[in-house]
Amino acid sequence: MTPPSSDLETTAAPTLYRPSETPASEPEPEAEALPEDDVEMSLFDHLEELRQRLFYSVAAVAVSAIACFVGVRPLVAFLERPAQGIRFLQLSPGEFFFVSIKVAGYSGLLLASPIILYHVIRFVLPGLTRRERRILTPVVLGSSVLFWAGLGFAYWLLIPAALNFFASYGADVVEQIWSIERYFEFVLLLLFSTGLAFQVPVVQLILGALGIVDARRMLAGWRYVLLAAVVLGAVLTPSTDPLTQSLLAGAVTALYLFGTVLVKFLCSDRPEEEVSVEG
């Protein structure tokens, strides 16, 4: 017997969904933060990726160094500019040739540094958490800017100060004729050591963002930082003159205070519960 039409209208029919029509659940916050190209990789896949990225980085350095070696004479003239009035001498056969190779190698490393940074970031990015990825861009940009600022500080201030000290000391006793190889060892070492010393605010920002050290503790240890800056200035500078060491120590101290201010304003808005749990 057929039921009345009113019973058919009032009877609730079960709702069926096909697999494609099933409502999707809300994605987890952690999954939203992961890039789309994050895939599970085996140890051998990681080693293969590391090998390829090392190959590309070394190839970039080699190509840049060869290009710099072709035009190395303007680079040599540029690095000789702080030593105005000084005559350079080649003390052994091939000395200037090996100096040219060193200058081209360091210059090629600088030119290829963006490519190296790109491959380093692409390799470590899948293993970083969401918070670590948020600080990756400012850390990389800040590190690059500070390194070039350190090169400029050394070229325009540290190197002329050190050379003037050595040239004026004993100028009335000896004639100023310097070895070309020793001069470039001095200049290149001072340039790159100063660039590395200028990374202090980057290290502070990383420690502050991870909740390891806050701005208050950084400021409380300024006495130890001042002592460490003096020791660092004595170790990194290839010369023994007090002026160069004092300039570098003062710059490192000022950078530390600048990094403390950055940590105060950029990393102080984190909740205390998060800092206590993660620290």
Confidence (pLDDT) at 27 = 47
Which two three-digit tokens encode residue 259?
A: 């990094």
Which two three-digit tokens encode residue 249?
A: 């120590």
Give the orientation angle of helix 43-70 with respect to helix 113-124, to 10 degrees: 170
> pLDDT for 78-122, tens place per residue?
999 999 878 899 988 999 999 999 999 999 999 999 999 999 998
Confidence (pLDDT) at 133 = 83
Alpha carbon 175 to chain centroid distance?
Answer: 41
> pLDDT for 171-230, tens place per residue?
778 888 899 999 999 999 999 999 999 999 999 988 888 888 889 999 998 889 889 888
Kind plus residue range of the DSSP H or E element containing 243:
helix 242-266
Distances (CA, A) of 260 to 10, 133, 216: 71, 21, 8
pLDDT at 34 > cutoff 80: no
Contact status, residue 205 vs residue 259, Cβ threshold 8 Å: yes
Confidence (pLDDT) at 173 = 83
Query: pLDDT band at 239, cuts 50/70/90?
Result: low
Smallest Cα–Cα separation from 249: which of 264, 236, 265? Answer: 236
3-state secondary structure of 35: coil
Residue 27: phi and psi, rounded to 5, are -70, 150
- pLDDT averaged over every residue in the chain: 82
Query: pLDDT band at 237, cuts 50/70/90?
Result: confident
Confidence (pLDDT) at 74 = 95
Q: Could you give the CA distance from residue 86 to residue 88 in angstroms, rounded to a whole number? A: 7
| Four-residue CA torsion sign, 143, 146, 148, 151 | negative
